[in-house]
Each structure stands twice: as structure tokens, then as C-alpha cells.
């Protein structure tokens, strides 16, 4: 008996364009560093909001939003990358190969 821990995903569920952004740090030649941003890939995915919160941090209002993203496997993405969707950059918390089937990745990310 096989126990499935994730919801079933189909290719037609992936309707949003998700951009994977990576950052490279290089020496500037004067003892400092320069960070450059580049687009690693743009893939079809499904982005679902999980939770939102609002807090007062250091006298400033801060909004936090968690999302779940599904993309097809393989996708060149690591937890060092960020996801750009709808003009917002999401920091990747975890990447999971659903049921180790090498079909879809489940990504949890935060703004």
C-alpha cells in the first residue's frame, strides 16, 4: 500500500510564470564585493499563498507572506536562489521532490 503525502499535481495546474533568480558575489578589486543578479530560468508553476502576517519591527510595519510553489522536475533551483513572481522576490525556505518521483518540486518560500 502506497501512502501519498502530497496533493496530486497535473501539468495543467501550472499556469503562472515563475522566474528563478540567482545572485553572484564577486570581488570589486578594492577589498569589497559586488552582488549581481541573473535570471536562471523562467518556468511554469503554481503559486499558492499559505499565510500572511503583519508585525511592528523596529518601529516599522513589516509584512510577511508565505507561499507554496509547484514546478516541474527538473528545475535548476537551490535554496540560495530567489523566486520572482508578480514583482515580489521570495526567499526559498525548502525544496522537496514530491514522493521522490522526479516529476514535481514543492517549494516553500517567504517574502
Give the 3-state DSSP-derived string for the chain, with helices as H, strands as E and coil as C.
Answer: CCCCCCCCCCHHHCCEEEEEEEEEEEECCCCCEEEEEEEEEEEEEEEEEEEEEEEEECCEEEEEEEEEEEEECCCCCCCCCEEEECCEEEEEEEEEEHHHCCCEEEEEEEC
From 108, 110, 104, select the one nearest 7 (Cα to Cα): 104
For the stretch 4-55, pLDDT in tens is: 455 678 888 999 999 999 999 888 888 899 989 999 999 999 999 998 776 6
- Block residue for cell numbers 499565510: 51
Q: State the average pLDDT for the chain.
A: 87
pLDDT at 66: 92
Residues in the chain: 111
Q: How far apart, in whole angstroms, are the C-alpha atoms of residue 74 and residue 102?
A: 7
User: Residue 71 — pLDDT band, cuts 50, 70, 90?
Assistant: very high
Amino acid at each position: 500500500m502506497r501512502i501519498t503525502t502530497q496533493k496530486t499535481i497535473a501539468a495543467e495546474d501550472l499556469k503562472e510564470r515563475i522566474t528563478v533568480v540567482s545572485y553572484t558575489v564577486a570581488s570589486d578589486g578594492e577589498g569589497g564585493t559586488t552582488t549581481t543578479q541573473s535570471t536562471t530560468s523562467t518556468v511554469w508553476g503554481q503559486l499558492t499563498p499559505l499565510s500572511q502576517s503583519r508585525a511592528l519591527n523596529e518601529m516599522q510595519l513589516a509584512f510577511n507572506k508565505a507561499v507554496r510553489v509547484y514546478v516541474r522536475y527538473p528545475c535548476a533551483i537551490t535554496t540560495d536562489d530567489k523566486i520572482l513572481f508578480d514583482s515580489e522576490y521570495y526567499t526559498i525556505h525548502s525544496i522537496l521532490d514530491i514522493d521522490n518521483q522526479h516529476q514535481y518540486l514543492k517549494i516553500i518560500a517567504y517574502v
